[in-house]
Structure 1
Amino acid sequence: MPTVFLTGFPGFLGSALVERLLDRHDDETTVTCLIQSKYRAKAEASADEIEAEQDADGRIELVEGDITDAELGLGDDYDDLQDESVEVYHLAAIYDLTMDREPGKHVNIEGTRHVLDFAEGADVDRLHYVSTVVVSGLYEGTFTEDMLQEGQLFGNYYETTKHMAEVLVQQRMDEIPTTIYRPAVAVGDSETGETQKYDGPYAFVEMLLDQGDNAVIPAPRGASNSEFNLVPRDYVVDAIGYLSGIDESEGTVYHLADPNPPTTTELIKTFGEALGKKRTLVVPYPKGIVGGLLESLSPENDLIKGGALEYQTWSASFDCSNTLEDLEGSGVECPDFEDYAGNLVEFVRENPDIDEGAMN
């Protein structure tokens, strides 16, 4: 029986993407999700829920494995699954700016190499690889979808591993039909605000919630002129769901980013308005000073961990020409941040105890 092979389930993007794949393929095609044993119970619950909602009983198959193993931890099942796979979606990665070097290397780089080997041996119709816009590193200026190795430096090891992984993918695009997706910073659903974890820009919401009607948020100098590119989960999943189903996407890189992003200052003030603040004052400081200030106040704050402060004065902007061209007429488009910011903060208010360690 033909199957679509997917890594990264039951993660933030993977769970939603499985629903789109079941819709697209006929009833004879299953979706096989490679899962870690520690997420077995969560994966089973998610699969049961999706199958019930999609009237797709038995079409999601869960196999325990490990992308850091050359045979994906599948043992004797490797060859059979390879023979049955018609498409591969590779989403699994460590998404953590503070990751340790060894697990980051094994999962993000070597894991991608092993999935590439699997896809090539399976002779799949397409490999769909989820990268990230942070492969741009500290590049200054407009980073286009055909750029990758531009001599850029990197702000943390997460950026380095994702860049190296995409280099591996692009090096094998002549042998494996491939589409690459580079999402910007993913936040909750634009309609419901739902998310699995609070990180990145949610730190601003946290700081604002801790203050009264008049809030003061420190930000590095230049935040008022620097784009903070974030996108809601439903846009990322809808875009991948559509683009992965068209012939034109083969061999293409897509920036799944906001073509009209807010500046960091605008983002903070929009969050403030959504939280009903009478006034949100963004106070500029030299980056070194604000980093020290934040660290003294909250060492674990997501605004400073792993070099996250750099994203408040992001030196790159992201051209989305391929994405906009190929999504035209599909009905899929990135909503304006100010239109869904209220839904994000309302979800945080109603769900203050989301586990920060939840998988992506």
Structure 2
Amino acid sequence: MTDVFLTGFPGFLGSAMVEVLLERHDEDATVTCLVQPKFRSEAEARVSDIDEDVDADAEARVELVEGDITDPELAVDDYDALVDGTDVVYHFAAIYDLTMDRAPGKAVNIDGSAHMAEFAAAADADRFHYVSSVVVAGDYDGRFSEDMLQEGQSFYNYYESTKHMAEVQVRERMDEVPTTIYRPGVAVGDSETGETQKYDGMYAFVEGLVDQGDNAVIPAPKGASEGEFNVVPRDYIVDAIGYLSGIEESEGKTYHLADPDPPTTTELVKILGDAAGKDRTFVVPYPKGIVKGLLESLKPESELLKSGGLEYQTWPASFDCSNAVADLEGSGIECPDFEDYAETLVDFYRENPDIGTEGMN
């Protein structure tokens, strides 16, 4: 029997991961989810949904424990009992907000990750699965490999800094607990359904396109035709972690769960334009310094423009996915081409206009 402890439920990735874990492990295995009290009712509803979606007896095998990763002992009623009852740890919880305030960003992303690494070590866990991000590359110019981390790079925002500092801390404890690190690209909706929990980043392009007529104009900074815009659908991230976390070969490795052959920003916008049914999509280059001001003048009420995703249109880093590609070989899991699921994302956006720009923080 395997007792799994997971953070980040009922969030976008964590919820999907629970489904994968229930299906992968035998019926005696349990999944304990650390849930913030304010999300308790939503978590209970999500467990019921999982019960309907998969034949895994979720209501009997998923235990919800109220707590908070910002507390050294996770703010749970019995920390020692939780430690003793855990075999494997999955840490998904984080604030994903490119415009985050420093205090909560540090408390959740940096301190929270340190607390979870300590928890995994105290539990003598068989494995600590830690979800980082490709943004740890910061402004690195060139090919960023899966074994790179501290390369003298700077960071565009505090979110990037928190993810980098958190991964540094996790790596420092890898001699105490077997660890696997996953660095997803920019997560977008499910490639099959389009489902997402929030609209940010790439969705600013979608918003701009669907609000225009048959011929659409999207401004982008000079260099957008060279910079890669690396997005990955939720199902690829979850399926990849689900598979890789179950093989012995993944111990001690870092995986870039990114698109090995991503479009440039200009290519991505034009693919979205086709998906949105535009006759023509024009990507007009402007000096980087005035792009944001121009977009705000065109649509000042847009919350998407405040989400910070426009900073990555000329990102100088690209991502080597060799570990992920090699260890996923034969599993049937691979990152789909963006062109193959772009229309699904656009359709979901049109059908679900009330989803906002903020996730579960």
TM-score range, shorter chain: over 0.9
What residue in structure 2 maps to residue 354 of structure 1? 355
Q: Note the C-alpha offset of 1:298.
A: 4.0
What residue in structure 2 maps to residue 259 of structure 1? 260
Compared with structure 1, are the counterparts of its residues 315 and 301 closer, same or farther at alpha carbon in structure 2 (3 Å cutoff)?
farther
Q: Note the C-alpha offset of 1:353.
A: 1.0
- Tell whether 2:208 aligns with 1:188: no
What residue in structure 2 maps to residue 143 of structure 1? 144
RMSD: 1.4
What residue in structure 2 maps to residue 21 of structure 1? 21
Q: Note the C-alpha offset of 1:279.
A: 0.6
**Residue identity in the other structure for 2:22:** L
Note the residue ranges of structure 1 that are not aligned, 5 or more in a row: none
Compared with structure 1, are the counterparts of its residues 103 and 337 closer, same or farther at alpha carbon in structure 2 (3 Å cutoff)?
same
Give the whole-Å Cα distance in 2 for the aligned partners of 1:289 and 1:50.
Answer: 46
**Residue identity in the other structure for 1:62:** L
SS at match of 2:326: helix
Q: Note the C-alpha offset of 1:195.
A: 0.8
Give the whole-Å Cα distance in 1 for the aligned partners of 2:266 and 2:129.
Answer: 34
Among residues 71, 74, 97, which one is paired with 1:72 in the alignment? 74
- Tell whether 2:325 aligns with 1:324: yes
Give the whole-Å Cα distance in 2 for the aligned partners of 1:331 and 1:234.
Answer: 13
**Residue identity in the other structure for 1:24:** R
What residue in structure 2 maps to residue 86 of structure 1? 87
- Tell whether 2:216 aligns with 1:212: no
What residue in structure 1 maps to residue 42 of structure 2? 42
What residue in structure 2 maps to residue 275 of structure 1? 276
SS at match of 1:58: helix
Compared with structure 1, are the counterparts of its residues 55 and 22 closer, same or farther at alpha carbon in structure 2 (3 Å cutoff)?
closer
SS at match of 1:28: coil
Q: Note the C-alpha offset of 1:301.
A: 4.6
Q: Is contact 2:2–2:25 with CA below 8 Å preserved after alignment?
A: no
**Residue identity in the other structure for 2:115:** H
**Residue identity in the other structure for 1:65:** G
What residue in structure 2 maps to residue 164 of structure 1? 165
Q: Is contact 2:136–2:149 with CA below 8 Å preserved after alignment?
A: yes
What residue in structure 2 maps to residue 3 of structure 1? 3
Give the whole-Å Cα distance in 1 for the aligned partners of 2:301 and 2:328.
Answer: 39
Q: Is contact 2:179–2:251 with CA below 8 Å preserved after alignment?
A: yes
Give the whole-Å Cα distance in 2 for the aligned partners of 1:118 and 1:338.
Answer: 41
Q: Is contact 1:155–1:307 with CA below 8 Å preserved after alignment?
A: no
Q: Is contact 2:188–2:196 with CA below 8 Å preserved after alignment?
A: yes
**Residue identity in the other structure for 1:268:** V
Question: CA offsets per residue over residues 90-111 of structure 1, 9 Å max, x none?
Answer: 0000000010000000000000
Compared with structure 1, are the counterparts of its residues 223 and 183 closer, same or farther at alpha carbon in structure 2 (3 Å cutoff)?
same
Give the whole-Å Cα distance in 2 for the aligned partners of 1:303 and 1:154.
Answer: 21
Q: Note the C-alpha offset of 1:294.
A: 2.0
Give the whole-Å Cα distance in 2 for the aligned partners of 1:262 and 1:274.
Answer: 15
Q: TM-score, normalised by structure 2?
A: 0.97
Give the whole-Å Cα distance in 2 for the aligned partners of 1:92 and 1:307.
Answer: 20
Q: Is contact 2:201–2:308 with CA below 8 Å preserved after alignment?
A: no
Give the whole-Å Cα distance in 2 for the aligned partners of 1:183 and 1:283.
Answer: 29
Note the residue ranges of structure 2 that are not aligned, 5 or more in a row: none
Give the whole-Å Cα distance in 2 for the aligned partners of 1:190 and 1:34.
Answer: 27
What residue in structure 2 maps to residue 30 of structure 1? 30
Q: TM-score, normalised by structure 1?
A: 0.97
What residue in structure 2 maps to residue 202 of structure 1? 203
Q: Note the C-alpha offset of 1:305.
A: 3.6
Give the whole-Å Cα distance in 2 for the aligned partners of 1:260 and 1:33.
Answer: 35
Q: Note the C-alpha offset of 1:352.
A: 1.0
Give the whole-Å Cα distance in 2 for the aligned partners of 1:303 and 1:281.
Answer: 20
> Aligned residue pairs: how many?
359
**Residue identity in the other structure for 1:249:** S
What residue in structure 2 maps to residue 61 of structure 1? 63
Compared with structure 1, are the counterparts of its residues 177 and 300 closer, same or farther at alpha carbon in structure 2 (3 Å cutoff)?
farther
Q: Note the C-alpha offset of 1:356.
A: 2.7
Q: Note the C-alpha offset of 1:235.
A: 0.3
SS at match of 2:232: strand
Give the whole-Å Cα distance in 2 for the aligned partners of 1:17 and 1:213.
Answer: 39
**Residue identity in the other structure for 2:172:** Q
Q: Note the C-alpha offset of 1:28.
A: 1.4
Give the whole-Å Cα distance in 1 for the aligned partners of 2:307 and 2:56.
Answer: 43
Q: Is contact 1:181–1:254 with CA below 8 Å preserved after alignment?
A: yes
Question: CA offsets per residue over residues 214-241 of structure 1, 9 Å max, x none?
Answer: 1110000000111100000000000000
Q: Is contact 2:2–2:88 with CA below 8 Å preserved after alignment?
A: no
Q: Is contact 1:200–1:302 with CA below 8 Å preserved after alignment?
A: no
- Map of 1:202-351 to 2, 5 A cutoff? 202-298=203-299, 301=302, 305=306, 307-351=308-352
Q: Is contact 1:179–1:244 with CA below 8 Å preserved after alignment?
A: yes
